[in-house]
Amino acid sequence: MFFIFIYVFLLSLVNMITTNFLVWWSVFLMMTLSFLVLLKVDSSYSSMLNYFIIQESLGLMFLLFNVGCVQFLVLLVKVGVSPLHFWVFSIVNGLMNWNLVWFLTFQKIPFIPVIIQLLNYGYLVFIMMGILFVYLQLFLSKNMKNMFVLSSLESFNWILLLCFLSMLNFLFLFFFYVLVMIFLMNSVLSGGGLLLEWDTVLVFMNIPFGVIFFVKIFSLSSLFLLFSVFFLFVLVLMFMSLVSFSYWLFFVSMITPKSVSVVMDYFFFFVYPLGLLMLL
């Protein structure tokens, strides 16, 4: 474990102290090969093939299109930042335990210095729209593992928003988020695939003083000053996603063979939370 931390830290440091695109691409390639080795140990061959094709195709585009906007969008796709995370689910469906933890945490760390160097305020609205897209996707998600991944992607978008306003808060919360999510996901996913644990539920419900709670509080405290109306709308969607998950959790605890069709209906995930919101 210690050598993994040192390995990722050194690659991140290389990306931080240089602005050469070839060096960045070399670090991305090393991270890709490292992840493929982990997948080979776990015999996740379908995820290996999908991940290699996607990452190397995007890496070639990163080298060829030497334009700031295009390179930044390609980089967001490589990391899996919402709303450009369409390829993530083809990978995570074949991942379990430590491989999933690596994919959602360590694999993203060397990309952070490059994202910071390419950031400008023109991408702020795009990242916020990614958060909105994740909340809409949570309404229609029926798989607990996918909801877990979406929660991680949403938190990463919130962390990226901090880069625009406070680099110190960003660094502190990012490493805090990585460490806590490692312990959380490893403990949950090591239980034989039993994901419905209380610690996972509390993460989804943004329990106060939890990791995602701190990430969002620090982000909102700064970004409310710039986009108050839009963020009010995002907060409403956050509440809707919370209510939707609460309904699902409540009914799945009392599920019977006759009620499966009701629980797995799209109408159940969207209209019921909307009705409750209108009543409130």
Average pLDDT, whole number, for the chain? 73
Kind and range of the H or E element at 118? helix 111-118
Same domain, 74 and 126: no
- Does 268 or 77 have the greater pLDDT score? 77
Classify 44 in phi/psi space as left (phi over 0), alpha (psi -120 to 50) or beta. beta
pLDDT at 144 over 50: yes
Q: How confident is the model at residue 279 (pLDDT cuts 50, 70, 90)?
A: very low
Alpha helices in 211-257 (DSSP H): 211-223, 228-252
Q: How confident is the model at residue 38 (pLDDT cuts 50, 70, 90)?
A: confident
Domain of 27, in residue numbers = 1-118
Domain boundary among 91, 118, 145: 118
pLDDT at 132 over 70: yes
Same domain, 100 and 210: no
C-alpha 104/C-alpha 92 separation (Å) is 9
Return all residues near 216 (Cβ < 8 A) that are at least 6 apart: 158, 206, 238
Per the structure, the count of domains in the chain is 2
Domain boundary among 118, 145, 178: 118
Alpha carbon 175 to its chain centroid, in Å, reads 14
Q: Give, as one character, the DSSP assignment of residue 84.
A: S
Same domain, 186 and 217: yes
Neighbours of 174 (CB within 10 A): 20
Residue from 82, 125, 116, 122 nearest 227 by CA: 125
**Taking a C-beta distance cutoff of 8 angstroms, is the pair 173, 215 a contact?**
yes
Same domain, 125 and 209: yes
Q: How confident is the model at residue 189 (pLDDT cuts 50, 70, 90)?
A: low
Same domain, 153 and 222: yes
Domain boundary among 90, 118, 146: 118
What percent of the chain has a predicted confidence (pLDDT) above 90? Answer: 2
**Taking a C-beta distance cutoff of 8 angstroms, is the pair 33, 63 a contact?**
no
Q: How confident is the model at residue 153 (pLDDT cuts 50, 70, 90)?
A: confident
Same domain, 23 and 106: yes
**Range scoring the smallest mean pLDDT among 37-41, 49-53, 269-273:** 269-273
Same domain, 111 and 215: no
**Range scoring the smallest mean pLDDT among 2-6, 20-24, 191-195, 268-272:** 191-195
Same domain, 6 and 68: yes
Residue 241: helix, strand or coil by DSSP?
helix
Same domain, 54 and 171: no
Residue from 109, 10, 118 nearest 74 by CA: 118
Same domain, 171 and 58: no
Residue 196: helix, strand or coil by DSSP?
coil
pLDDT at 278 over 50: no
**Taking a C-beta distance cutoff of 8 angstroms, is the pair 112, 12 a contact?**
yes
Same domain, 136 and 111: no
- Does 270 or 58 have the greater pLDDT score? 58
Same domain, 165 and 109: no
**Taking a C-beta distance cutoff of 8 angstroms, is the pair 38, 102 a contact?**
yes
Would you mind telling me the total number of residues written for the chain in this entry? Answer: 280
pLDDT of residue 137: 84
Alpha carbon 248 to its chain centroid, in Å, reads 21
